[in-house]
Amino acid sequence: MINLSVPIPESAFSALRLDPAGLAQEKRIATAIQWDAQGMISQDKVAEIAGLNRAAFIDSFSQARVSRFQFRAEGLWEGLADVD
């Protein structure tokens, strides 16, 4: 595994009420959620990046107050066109 170093202001820890390890885990989950929402990589891979199993990763969406279901307008119209 590769470790990345990202500068974070010390004030962020108190504002978020997280220690460095907690903030790092939250960042991994937030990044994984973003990449999943963009459809960049598979759900299994983003769960691995988040450091969670797939079920726990899916649960993380509700904890992050993010909808697990992402719809694009063109996909919705394509789906409706298939309805007879």
- Domain positions in the chain: 10-81
Report whether pLDDT(15) > 80. Answer: yes
Report whether pLDDT(80) > 80. Answer: no
Could you give the percent of the chain with pLDDT greater than 70? 74
Report whether pLDDT(27) > 80. Answer: yes
- Which pair of structure tokens corresponds to residue 34? 């973003």
Q: At 48, is the pLDDT very low, low, confident or very high (cuts 50, 70, 90)?
A: very high
Residues 6 or more apart whose CB falls under 8 angstroms from that of 57 comprise 29, 32, 36, 43, 46, 47, 50
